[in-house]
Structures are given as structure tokens and as C-alpha cells.
Structure 1
């Protein structure tokens, strides 16, 4: 990947569109965690249930960080406009 392409990719990640994409991808991970919880419950596996809970906490934290970034980007747009 060239330096220019890398710069564009980093810029996209910091854009509103990139942030929305990250939110969607992170939220999609919640589906996997829910399946993990169902399986752990059906198997009465406490360790797998704890693992799912930790994964869910990571998803919630990630979404909160992305939401904060989205708000910051929105604030910047208002100041520029």
C-alpha cells in the first residue's frame, strides 16, 4: 500500500462514514456474542458465559468510544460550517 493510499485509509477511519461503518461492524459483533451466551447457557458452562460477558463489555465500550468520536466529528462540522 502506498503512502498516499495509507493516508486516505487513515482519513476514512476518522471520517463520519468510517465511524458509522465501525459502529455497524462493532454492533454486528454483538450477534456473535449473543450466540455465544445462548450456547454457554445451554451447556451450563460458566467460563464460556464469563467470556461472553467480557466480550459484551468490550463491545459496549467500543460503541461508546465510537459514539464519542462521532459526536466530536459532528461538533467539528458545526464549527467549520
Structure 2
């Protein structure tokens, strides 16, 4: 098995999905900083950008959690 195919397999594994969730949530830290800055500067446009970025993060985590559930359904040891 080549390294490339191992890497592609990791992306679809539970560990890879957990890693994706972690990195996505790490992005939430910068969004929180952006919200704090926008509020202190009373910048409505920057605040709107932060809100939409937060919505994208929430959606991304929801998709990854759904993928985790699908991976769990395929587990033959659970059935």
C-alpha cells in the first residue's frame, strides 16, 4: 500500500475525522477574537463576517459529526 493511499484512507477514518473536527474548532478561536475586535470597534461589517464564519464552522462540525456516525454504523463489532 502506497503512502498516498494510506493518507487517503486516514481522511475517511475515525481518527482523521476527529482530527478534522479539532482543527475546525481551532478555527473558532480566531472567529471569537474577530467578534471581540468587531464589537470593541463597533464595526458592523466585520461582525457580520464573523457571524457567517461561525455559521460555517458550526456547519462543518455538523457534517463531520454526521460522518463519524456513518463510520460508527459500518463497524461490524457494534452490530
User: TM-score range, shorter-chain basis?
Assistant: over 0.9
Partner of 1:25: 23
48, 65, 75: which is aligned to 1:67?
A: 65
Partner of 2:42: 44
- Residue 5 of structure 1 and its aligned partner are, at CA, apart by 1.7
Q: Deviations over 1:50-73 (max 9, x none)?
A: 110110000000000000000000
Structure 1 unaligned segments of length 5 or more: list them: none
Cα RMSD between the aligned structures?
1.2
Structure 2 unaligned segments of length 5 or more: list them: none
Select the structure that is richer in helix.
Answer: 1
What TM-score, normalized by structure 1, do the two folds share?
0.90
Structure-2 separation of matches of 1:16 and 1:60: 19
